[in-house]
Structure formats: structure tokens, C-alpha cells
């Protein structure tokens, strides 16, 4: 949390200089290394309030810094209104000595969070798209837990309704040698289910096994059927009715979701008396809000994004307006994945069974590469997943780049036949050593940013950059043929970096091999 630490020093400095209290300012890493290690733009924000130019304020802050306690080892340099900060080697070294990548300060307000993801229908095997939500969801869970939240992860099993009836009928038809019903399921996997006592449960169980192969395990598999069984749907509708958000029209019962920003009202009970999928979802979300406590996060595919406004409406009607806030309810809409083979997109259809399953992909390229590729892209852009690239063991495939950095460090210990040093003193630090240390120290800041923005891909990019710095130091700063004190210094830095890579990969549930 070095950036938080720096920000706190700046807050103190501003208070000491002008007697004003400010919130934690942004701490940037300047692109130009001549500007120092960190920079802050507080002077711009204070300019209006203090009726002074940013340049003058930056200058004054830097002047005052010499008289303030707690900033020893930091050189303050004003430039163009920015305050640039340069940390001396001793300070960085002290920071590193007390730094441990697995220790992360908890957030100020920990939440109880219910995270729902994947929730694929149990009518066919999982594909790469489900894999993407599975990976992002599982990374998100670990991230949120890492910063102090309590997270319950859940897979919603749509084991009731028309599609399930059609699916069961399709399996039965194939078993009995009869034609599959109109709009039914024809895929090869359907044949494999004819002997299953319960094809739906067999399919769900297959999902569980597939997900376990890529390290995705749910705290709960929530059955839609149980909502029907205990009358939860009728209960949810009556809550909406009591809130006077329900009316009758055309023989059906409607939820006035337009009162909550949706663009049209939605049917709850059809004119034939059956509940809609949406009505069942009302029951599910009511149940989730009761269990979640503080916050709900749903991860859905792009084909559901039109569904979001009505769910937001329903959540507010059932749970109260506080559930409209982004700190209580998030829907992450993940864009689609196009699978490429030899540069050509593969078309998929679940109904006819023309598809490459997630299992087949994991068979081919393994869990580590699958997870890394799916985690590295931000969830709101559609991506291409190239099977050939994912199989390559080169720089084109960044998972090996990161793992190799870890393995290389381990190889040095083997060569020297020693264990990693637990402490060391330092002499002068070269640029490669210094940059690597500075990057490691920001690991926790990055974890917090990734958790806050629900963006696990930030961790992946942090690790790629970390690996780059390790490889850079490896090339420029020899160890075996170096005098003992410097050797120990370098080993100490590399061990911190190794632990950081290990911690980062663990967060992504990717292995950190000691040899490759």
C-alpha cells in the first residue's frame, strides 16, 4: 500500500502547510522517470480554494516538506504545478523489508457480498463463453476476499421451466428412437444422457466437474426448482403487490417496472396462469438480497444486457431504493468470446450441438493458459480466443512469460544450493533493482484498485509488467559471479519479486512453477 502511505503523507503536508484537510489525493507514477517515483496534482485542486497558482502552491509544499515529520527519505520537487516525489534508496529498502505480498490491508467498510456467475442452463455442455465468466467470477471472488469482504459464490441452476421440459423430452425421444420434438436438443451429448436417471442433474454435475478442472468451485448451487417448491414466487409477487407495483391487464398480471426506469412493464403471471421466467427471477433476487446482506454482484453474458433494467427495477421494488446504488448491486455484462482456430472463427450452436466445449479447450491447452487468457481481457470488450496462440510457448503467450520469471528465480536457488535470504542489507541500487522493488511495493494498491473496479484483468497486467522487470534485472544484474554482499542484496530483491508473482498467480488460481 505504498501509494496509500504516500497519499497520507501528502494529506499531512497540506494540513501542516495550509491548515486545510483534504481527501486522499491521487498518486501517479509519472511516465517520465526524470520526474521521480511518484507525483501528485494536489496543487491544482487547491489553487481555487487558496487563490494561488498551482505553481506557487507546489513550491510552498515542497519548501514546507523539509520541516514536516514523517517524510524523511522523500525528496519533493515542484514542476509545472505538480509535486514530484523521489524516494531515496534507504526508504525503499525499509519499505521492502516490512513488505509481504500476501498481507493486504482490509477496506474501510467490509461487505457481505453474494456473487452469482456462470449460471448456465443445464441443457448442454459449457463453452468458452461460460469459461470466461467462470474465470472472471472466481478471480473476482478471491480479489474481494483478499481486501476483506465476505463473499458467497453461487451458480443459479435453471432446472425448471419450458426449456428443461423440452430437454427432458429430447433425451427421452432419442432413447426411445423417436423424432426429437420441434425446437428440441439434437447435440451428440444428448445421446450420452439417455441412460442417466436424471439428465438435468447429470448435466449440472458435468458443469461442476468441468468448472473444477479450471479451479472454479462454488459455495452453492442454487436450484430454481426449490423456489417453486416452497412457494417463493407467489411470495415475491405478493411483496410487489403490497408495494402497489402490480396491476392486471389483458388477462395477465404485470409489474410496473416503468416506475423504476425500465422502458416497459413486465408480465409476472401469464394469462394461462403460469409464472414468467422474470417472476421466478423476482423470487430468486428477493432470496439473494435476504442472504447477501450488503451487496449483490451478477455476472451475465452480453445476450442478457437488455434484461438488466427490469432486474434493477425489481430489486428496488423488492429490496428498497438503496439497492439502486452501485455499492449495493452490480451487474457485470461480459461481452462475447469468438473462438479462433487457425485464424478462422468457429461457429457454435448449442441446440444442434455444433460446438467446441470448454472441456475440449482445457484438454488442449490446460487450465493455466485458459485462465490467464480469459482473465487478462477486461470483461466489457468482446474478445478473440485463439487456440493456436494459447498453445504456444513463447512471448506471444504471456502466461509462460510470467511463469518463466518465477521459475528462473527458483533456478538460481537450485544452482547456488541455498534457500532464499530472509533479510539483507543494501548498497547502491541499480535502475533494474530499484524499478523492480518499486513495482512490487505497489502490488497491494493494485489489488485494491482491481477489487474496487471489479476488474481482475488489472492483476494480470500487473504481473506481466512484474515479469518484465524480473527478466530485465535477470539480464542486467548477474548473481552467481557477484561478490557475496551484492549477491545477497539481489537475491533478497528477487525473492520478494518471486513471492509477489506467486501471490498474484495464486489470486488468479494459476500455478507458479519452480522449474519449466
Partner RNA sequence: GCCCUCGUAGCUCAGUAGGAUAGAGCGCUGGAUUCCUAAUCCGGAGGCCGUGGGUUCGAAUCCCGCCGUGGGCACCA
Out of 307, 356, 362, 506, the only residue in the binding site for RNA (CB under 7 A) is 307
Residue with the three cell numbers 542489507: 425
Out of 396, 418, 425, 431, the only residue in the binding site for RNA (CB under 7 A) is 396
Of 45 and 353, the one with the shorter C-beta distance to RNA is 45
305 binds RNA (CB under 7 A): yes
Of 162 and 325, the one with the shorter C-beta distance to RNA is 162
* Residues in binding contact with RNA, number by CB under 7 A: 87
Among residue numbers 240 through 259, which ones bind RNA (CB under 7 A)? 249-252
Of 68 and 514, the one with the shorter C-beta distance to RNA is 514
* CA 219/CA 286 separation, integer angstroms: 19
Q: What is the CA radius of gyration of the chain?
A: 28
- Name residues whose C-beta falls within 8 Å of residue 190's C-beta, 6 or more positions apart in sequence: 170, 171, 174, 353
* CA 462/CA 142 separation, integer angstroms: 16
**Which grid coordinates belong to 292?**
447477501
* CA 268/CA 260 separation, integer angstroms: 16
What character string, x for contact with RNA (CB under 7 A) and - otherwise, covers 12-31?
Answer: --------------x-x-xx
Q: How would you list the strands of the sheet with 27-28, edge to edge?
A: 27-28, 38-40, 82-87, 74-79
Closest approach, Cβ 177 to RNA, in A, equals: 27
**Which grid coordinates belong to 252?**
395477465
* CA 87/CA 438 separation, integer angstroms: 10
Of 176 and 475, the one with the shorter C-beta distance to RNA is 475
Closest approach, Cβ 264 to RNA, in A, equals: 7
Q: Name 125's bridge partners.
A: none
Of 29 and 91, the one with the shorter C-beta distance to RNA is 29
Regarding beta strands 220-223 and 150-157, do their DSSP bridges make them parallel or antiparallel, or are they unpaired?
A: parallel
Out of 39, 214, 390, 436, the only residue in the binding site for RNA (CB under 7 A) is 39
| Contact assessment for residue 144 and residue 113, using Cβ atoms and an 8 Å cutoff | yes
441 binds RNA (CB under 7 A): no
Closest approach, Cβ 301 to RNA, in A, equals: 8
Out of 12, 16, 22, 44, the only residue in the binding site for RNA (CB under 7 A) is 44
Regarding beta strands 266-269 and 252-255, do their DSSP bridges make them parallel or antiparallel, or are they unpaired?
A: antiparallel
* CA 28/CA 50 separation, integer angstroms: 23
**Which grid coordinates belong to 468?**
518484465
Of 219 and 452, the one with the shorter C-beta distance to RNA is 452
Out of 195, 363, 380, 388, the only residue in the binding site for RNA (CB under 7 A) is 380
320 binds RNA (CB under 7 A): no
Q: Which stretch binds RNA (CB under 7 A): 129-137, 212-220, 275-283, 502-510?
A: 275-283
Out of 65, 138, 146, 158, the only residue in the binding site for RNA (CB under 7 A) is 158
* CA 254/CA 35 separation, integer angstroms: 62
- Name residues whose C-beta falls within 8 Å of residue 483's C-beta, 6 or more positions apart in sequence: none
Strands (E), 350-430: 383-386
Out of 61, 104, 139, 376, the only residue in the binding site for RNA (CB under 7 A) is 376
Among residue numbers 459 through 498, which ones bind RNA (CB under 7 A)? 461, 464, 468, 471-472, 474-481
Please state the φ and ψ torsions of residue 320, each to the nearest 5 degrees. 105, 160
* CA 248/CA 290 separation, integer angstroms: 28
274 binds RNA (CB under 7 A): yes
* Helix/strand/coil for 20: coil
Of 152 and 324, the one with the shorter C-beta distance to RNA is 324
**Which grid coordinates belong to 30?**
509519472
Closest approach, Cβ 304 to RNA, in A, equals: 6
164 binds RNA (CB under 7 A): yes
Among residue numbers 45 through 104, which ones bind RNA (CB under 7 A)? 45, 54, 79-82, 84
5 binds RNA (CB under 7 A): no
Among residue numbers 179 through 238, which ones bind RNA (CB under 7 A)? none
Of 164 and 240, the one with the shorter C-beta distance to RNA is 164
Among residue numbers 497 through 516, which ones bind RNA (CB under 7 A)? 515-516
Amino acid at each position: 500500500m505504498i501509494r496509500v502511505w504516500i497519499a497520507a503523507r501528502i494529506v499531512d503536508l497540506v494540513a501542516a502547510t495550509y491548515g486545510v484537510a483534504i481527501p486522499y489525493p491521487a498518486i501517479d507514477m509519472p511516465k517520465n522517470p526524470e520526474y521521480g517515483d511518484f507525483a501528485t496534482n494536489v496543487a491544482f485542486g487547491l489553487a481555487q480554494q487558496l487563490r494561488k497558482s498551482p505553481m506557487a502552491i507546489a513550491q510552498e509544499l515542497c519548501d514546507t516538506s523539509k520541516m514536516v515529520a514523517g517524510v524523511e527519505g522523500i525528496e519533493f520537487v515542484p514542476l509545472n504545478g505538480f509535486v514530484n516525489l523521489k524516494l531515496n534508496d534507504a526508504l525503499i529498502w525499509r519499505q521492502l523489508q516490512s513488505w509481504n505480498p500476501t498481507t493486504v490491508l482490509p477496506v474501510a467498510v467490509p461487505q457481505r457480498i453474494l456473487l452469482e456467475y456462470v449460471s448456465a442452463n443445464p441443457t448442454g455442455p459449457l463453452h468458452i463463453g461460460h469459461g470466461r465468466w467462470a474465470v472472471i467470477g472466481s478471480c473476482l471472488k478471491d480479489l474481494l476476499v483478499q481486501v476483506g469482504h465476505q463473499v458467497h459464490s453461487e451458480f443459479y441452476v435453471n432446472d425448471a421451466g419450458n426449456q428443461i421440459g423440452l430437454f427432458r423430452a429430447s433425451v427421452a425421444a432419442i432413447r426411445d428412437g423417436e423424432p426429437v420434438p420441434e425446437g428440441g436438443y439434437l447435440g451428440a451429448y444428448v445421446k450420452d444422457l439417455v441412460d442417466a436417471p436424471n439428465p438435468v442433474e447429470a448435466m449440472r454435475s458435468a458443469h461442476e466437474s468441468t468448472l473444477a478442472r479450471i479451479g472454479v468451485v462454488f459455495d452453492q448451487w442454487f436450484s430454481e426448482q426449490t423456489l417453486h417448491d416452497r412457494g417463493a414466487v407467489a411470495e415475491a409477487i405478493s411483496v410487489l403487490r403490497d408495494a402497489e407495483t402490480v396491476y392486471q391487464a389483458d388477462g395477465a398480471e404485470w409489474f410496473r417496472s416503468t416506475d423504476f426506469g425500465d422502458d416497459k412493464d413486465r408480465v409476472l403471471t401469464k394469462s394461462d396462469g403460469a409464472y414468467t421466467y422474470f417472476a421466478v427471477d423476482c423470487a430468486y433476487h428477493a432470496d439473494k438480497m435476504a442472504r447477501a446482506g450488503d451487496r449483490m454482484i451478477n455476472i451475465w453474458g452480453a445476450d442478457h444486457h437488455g434484461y438488466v433494467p427490469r432486474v434493477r427495477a425489481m430489486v428496488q421494488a423488492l429490496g428498497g431504493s438503496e439497492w439502486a446504488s452501485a455499492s449495493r448491486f452490480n451487474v457485470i455484462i461480459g461481452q462475447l468470446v469468438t473462438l479462433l482456430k487457425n485464424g478462422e472463427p468457429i461457429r457454435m450452436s448449442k441446440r444442434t450441438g455444433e460446438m467446441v466445449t470448454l472441456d475440449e479447450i482445457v484438454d488442449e491447452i490446460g487450465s493455466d493458459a485458459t485462465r490467464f487468457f480469459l482473465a487478462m481481457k477486461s470483461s466489457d470488450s468482446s474478445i478473440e480466443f485463439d487456440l493456436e496462440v494459447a498453445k504456444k510457448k513463447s512471448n506471444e503467450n504471456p502466461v509462460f512469460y510470467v511463469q518463466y520469471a518465477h521459475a528462473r528465480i527458483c533456478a538460481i536457488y537450485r544452482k547456488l544450493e541455498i534457500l532464499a535470504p530472509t533479510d539483507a542489507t543494501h548498497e547502491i541500487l541499480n535502475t533494474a533493482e530499484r524499478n523492480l522493488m518499486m513495482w512490487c511495493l505497489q502490488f497491494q494498491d493494485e489489488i485494491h484498485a482491481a477489487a474496487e473496479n471489479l476488474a481482475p484483468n488489472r492483476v494480470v497486467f500487473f504481473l506481466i509488467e512484474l515479469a518484465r522487470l524480473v527478466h530485465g534485472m535477470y539480464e542486467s544484474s548477474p548473481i552467481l559471479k557477484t561478490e557475496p554482499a551484492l549477491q545477497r542484496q539481489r537475491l533478497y530483491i528477487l525473492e520478494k519479486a518471486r513471492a509477489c508473482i506467486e501471490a498474484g498467480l495464486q489470486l488468479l488460481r494459476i500455478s507458479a512453477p519452480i522449474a519449466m
